[in-house]
Structure 1
């Protein structure tokens, strides 16, 4: 047995990966529970005007902060930044629960978004540093982190509904505090202390390392892009698109000339595997959120199910997603990225075709559960392959920023999906809308499948 084979058989300890996962669940928890609390929030403040920003504020903040969190983790220490993010979540939770007005609640949700943005990138950095130090494979730890998020996405609406029904909408804010406390104690106990940081994190060296100009341009470009995509569902704000383009061009120009760039765009352009993975991730998550947002709308508006029943029908998407994550982890370890992605993209194509051609308001519930289970397959396989590719194509110091970009692209995909659903569901979430949404998912699945089959960058992975 070779030394390489032996190293691959050594896994990151489960206590470390699960401990880190205890904090990463806070982002999907806060993004999924809010769906069942919006009605109560509107009633409490006497108006539904602006309540959409209670949801969008967290998504935008998470999208723009995730790469920054990864960079801060490499500068100050991933464990320190992970714990600082937990503290920010606690502040946002208390501020939101006690908010005297809707504007204060939106600001609190932004704080929650900033805090929850730190956990996944820094957790990946901690895992990668541990794996490099101990000659271990990070694959099973990545699977654990992914599974933690998927379980909470599945249970979030149910947990939120129980809390709101029993204690009011403020309870979805208060519930963050015990999770934060448990996660902080757990991470302090199992995560290795951060190594000492050099002079680059002091004074002017720190300021240069942070690349404030590049970071500011990235924040402006990403946030205005998100605002533009969100506006397409009602009245397009074209000026935000213009600002996004201008900021993005300025960002690329600045980063190519900066001595210590926030995101090394030259290296990113040269790293074909990472670039291709991020593009594939954007398209994949657009399809995933078309399923996650579109199918429940049809189940209630077209199939006539209650919100609780629709939530139960959606459970196989997440449940199968967790199981497929574990299977995909083994498949990736034995055969690499291409077979793993082939299963994921084929599942996406199959599920999309079923929604487009075979399902309508007369479809029995067992058949709805079947297609929900099929739609859970691509989530696990595509996630595992793409996240492992991000990890394998970057060094330890860069993996936090890279996985932060992965998360940013995930939420851009969510907003693209919202636009796609708005177009495909015109006239209401009836059977015709479901068929159009399914067709979009099928086209995306077919495109991704062809890309995986003919990709040159996947040959060595």
Structure 2
């Protein structure tokens, strides 16, 4: 059913394949950027003299994508997926241009936020477009192809990012997005020409978007400043957390009365939607945190080159798509998602816990990263399809965007929280966590005491992450049983 409640024109198999190819290319654009930057973060922080602000290179992107996913999901429901996806790609390309030209850390952070608006929107709109033309039970099969895109992006992204940073400059990571973005724009616009466009128009919840943005920025500023040594009880921190609370409460109130809310609160009255969003929140937190922490640990503790540290992520990046492939096949045959969500959440919690306990065990990290990746892969498609299956057809776009919103929010909060944990642990001996990070990134070997402190700090950060992952497993146990629709 189309967003305005009418039955859309049925697409032929050839037209569905054309739509899917266009969406895959757009997804590749966004997926590459999530993986290509992580390995360059230590070099970026050192060159722009902003090691203490390093988390914001990731967090600003995630804040932008968090806000944009429900906004563009709703825009797709109101104005059509083709218009929404084109706007998303343009935001992404403009942000990439700003990042490539960045002369300072604040400039880079602002440009990353703009790029995040486009990247998050691309993923939300692409997933919703597939939901319009493919039945829920069949979507697991199509998720396999999305997983293939993530294989390419996850393997190529860190390697290409590492090589470009090592042999040219980290600026080239962002220059690469410009030709890819223009190609994705041209192909996706042609492919989506037959996807139905709604005939009705309704206002977009701009007030909700502004309140959500302000609340998230205030919250993440407060969390990040703790890692920079600012006490949580200082007046500025109390103002940040208090302001975040007020703005987010105002956002919830706004969503309850807006004619076209950014995040319809009624969706969270559905247990499957509510619990699956929690699973996505925690699952994406783990994926982004591992993508940042693992290469950072390799470079700081073991003096690995940027390209070599990127290769350390290969087991994780292969494991995720493998888990998604298995989830797609199992959903197609069983017509259910609950067992996949429970198994995935438990596997992730066990894998991250083991990563925090076995740092000095040779050969353990690749195996554990692969296992954790499989667990994450089991959760993502099963939770998304469960959400889409649980809502009426007219809400599938905003429900999909809400799922992507939960993922992006988890990543934004998670990277701020865990990077703050790492900085606090690094500075636990009375020094500055950012200063120790600069010392560890600098050429030459650090002394044994510094390396021991850093190793313990990374272990603690992984254990905190494992405790968060365990909460997702508990949540998954309360999921209701429901069969996937075959129409």
Range with bigger deviation, 272-281 or 89-98: 89-98
Query: Which residue in the other structure is 2:475 paired with?
Result: 451
**Mapping 1:351-366, distance limit 5 Å:** 351-357=351-357, 359-361=358-360, 363-365=361-363
Tell me the equivalent position of 2:326: 327
- Corresponding residue for residue 4 of structure 1: none
- Structure-2 separation of matches of 1:450 and 1:54: 32
| 1:101-180 alignment runs, 5 A limit | 102-131=105-134, 137-180=138-181
8 Å Cα contact 2:279/2:476 also seen in 1:
no
Alignment partners' CA distance in 1, 2:221 and 2:151: 26
- Counterpart position of 1:291: 290
> What is the alpha-carbon distance in structure 2 between the residues aligned to residue 39 and residue 298 of structure 1?
10
Cα separation, 2, equivalents of 1:164 and 1:65: 29
Q: Give the deviation of 1:223 after TM superposition.
A: 3.1
Q: Is it true that 1:17 corresponds to 2:16 in the alignment?
A: no
Asked if 1 retains the 8 angstrom alpha-carbon contact of 2:277 and 2:406, the reply is: yes
Partner SS state of residue 260, structure 1: coil
Looking at structure 2, the residues matched to 155 and 429 of structure 1 have their Cα atoms a distance apart, in angstroms, of 33
1:228/1:405 CA distance change after superposition, 3 Å = farther
**Corresponding position: 1:84 with 2:75:** no
With over 3 angstroms needed to count, the CA separation of the structure-2 counterparts of 1:413 and 1:112, relative to structure 1, is: same
Q: Deviations over 1:395-416 (max 9, x none)?
A: 3443333333333332332333
Structure 1 distance, partners of 2:405, 2:277, is 10
Give the match for residue 340 of structure 1.
Answer: 340
Q: 1:223 aligned to 2:220?
A: no
Work out the CA distance in 2 between the residues paired with 1:364 and 1:273. 41
Point out where structure 2 has 5 or more consecutive residues left out of the alignment.
1-12, 427-451
Match of 2:8 in 1: none
Shift of 1:373: 1.6
Give the deviation of 1:378 after TM superposition: 0.8
Checking the alignment, whether the CA contact within 8 Å between 1:321 and 1:377 is kept in structure 2 is yes
Q: Which has the higher mean CA deviation after the structures are superposed, 284-293 or 369-378?
A: 284-293
CA shift, 1:45, in A, is 5.7
CA contact (8 A) 2:73 2:400 kept: yes
Instruction: Report deviation, 1:340.
Output: 0.9
Question: Match of 1:374?
Answer: 371
Cross-structure match for 1:74 = 77
Q: Bigger relative contact order, structure 1 or 2, given CA contacts below 8 A and separation 6+?
A: 2
Change (3 A) 1:12 1:143: farther
Which of 367, 383, 386 is the equivalent residue of 1:386?
383
CA deviation after TM superposition for structure 1 residue 446, in Å: 4.2
| 2:430 aligned partner | none
Q: 1:127 to 1:308 in 2, by over 3 A?
A: same
User: Following the alignment from structure 2 to structure 1, what is the Cα–Cα distance between the partners of residues 45 and 346?
Assistant: 41
Q: How does 1:205-244 map to 2 (within 5 A)?
A: 206=202, 209-234=203-228, 235=230, 236=232, 237-244=237-244
Using the TM superposition, name which of 376-385 and 275-284 deviates more. 275-284
Q: Distance in 2 between matches of 1:37 and 1:446?
A: 30
Q: How many residues in Structure 1 have an aligned counterpart in Structure 2?
A: 439
2:215–2:243 Cα contact (<8 Å) kept? yes
| Compared CA separation, residues 187 and 59, structure 1 to 2 (3 A) | same
Distance in structure 1 (CA, Å) of the matches to 2:470 and 2:60:
33
Moved more, 106-115 or 442-451: 442-451
Cα drift, residue 324 of structure 1: 1.7
How has the CA–CA distance of structure 1 residues 240 and 394 changed in structure 2, closer, same or farther, with 3 Å as cutoff? farther
Deviation at 1:457, TM superposition (A): 2.3
TM (norm. structure 1) is 0.83
Match of 1:419 in 2: 417
- Counterpart Cα distance in 2 of 1:124 and 1:344: 21
Flag the 1:278–1:11 CA change in 2: closer, same or farther, 3 A: farther
With over 3 angstroms needed to count, the CA separation of the structure-2 counterparts of 1:144 and 1:222, relative to structure 1, is farther
Q: 1:452 to 1:184 in 2, by over 3 A?
A: same
Q: CA RMSD in A?
A: 3.2
- How far does residue 87 in structure 1 lie from its aligned partner after superposition? 2.1
Q: For residues 252-296 of structure 1, what are the alpha-carbon distances to aligned partners after superposition, in whole Å with 9 as ceiling and x for unaligned?
A: 22322333333221x123212111111222233333344333333
Aligned equivalents of 1:175 and 1:403: distance in 2?
29
Distance 1:119 1:286 in 2: 19
